[in-house]
Structure formats: C-alpha cells, structure tokens
Amino acid sequence: MTNNEKAFLDMIAHSEIGDPLLAKSDNGYNVIVGSTASHPSLFASYADHPRKLVILDGGLKSTAAGRYQVLSRYFDYYKASLQLPDFSPASQDAIAIQLIKECKALDIIEFGQIELAINRCASRWASLPGQLNVYNQHINKMDDLVAAYVQAGGTIG
C-alpha cells in the first residue's frame, strides 16, 4: 500500500470514527456504529463481522462496523468476492481499497487529487462530502478531511 493510499484510509477512519474514538479502540477496527469516545461500543473478535443491528437517532438502523463502517451485508459480498478469511484489520483495509477502486478514485489518490477522490467516494461513506452522498447523515468538511489526509502523510498534487 502506498503512502497516499494509507493516508486516504486514515482520513476515512478519521471521518467515519473520529480521532478520540480511534484512540480508545483498536485504531477503529473494532468499533460498532453509534459509538462515541465517551461510550465506545467495541467488538472482541475479528473472526466475522459483529452483525449487531443498532438503532440510531432518528430511527436509522445500521449494522455498520469496523474502521470503515462496513455494513454486514456488504461484508458478506466482499468476503466472498475478495476471498477474505475474516473481518480483521487487513480484511477491512482490503474492502476499503476495493470500494475506492469501484469509485474510480485509487489512481487520483496517487496523483494527490484528494478533493476529487473524496467527492468520488462520497457514495460509499456517509461522512464524506460530495454530490454522490445521499445518506442524509453528518457530513464532515472538505478542509478538515484534506488536513487529516495531509497529517496522515498524504501528499497533494
């Protein structure tokens, strides 16, 4: 994995999980949706997706879990298609990279076109700004995400 790819994954985790909760967990890899730094909900085993249905504010139901908040039904698909053994950090990273590829953003991350990459990936992560975001949830500011990417060691082209 290149430095820019790693920094982009770190930026997604910053956006989806938040730095305080990243610090109180296994770098976000064991976080269940709805967790906060003051009330973390963490799972103990990486053998499988935790498959915990959580009802969030506003009645939204979600099974999102892990560093990139992957829904259980998507995990099942990617586990089979990518031949993943489990829901370990390496498997979660592989799923995130595949999602980025599907958004046609991997090459532009390498060129440092981070705002464009974030926009393209907004269809996959509810916390990312962009025209493709249809989730109606909290969206982080582009400037904050670019700063998180640079702080994680990514370069802007």
Which amino acids are annotated catalytic? 16
**Considering just the CA atoms, what is the radius of gyration of the chain in Å?**
15
Q: How far is CA 54 from CA 9, 26, 40, 41, 63, in A?
A: 24, 20, 13, 11, 6
68 within 8 A of 88, measured Cβ to Cβ: no
Contact in structure between 130 and 142 (CB atoms under 8 Å): no
Locate 11 and state its tokens: 């930026």
Measured CA to CA, the distance from residue 86 to residue 75 in angstroms comes to 9
C-alpha span between 153 and 7 (Å, rounded): 6
Cα 39 to chain centroid, rounded? 20
Residue 42, helix vs strand vs coil? strand
Q: Give the pair of three-digit tokens for residue 62.
A: 């979600």
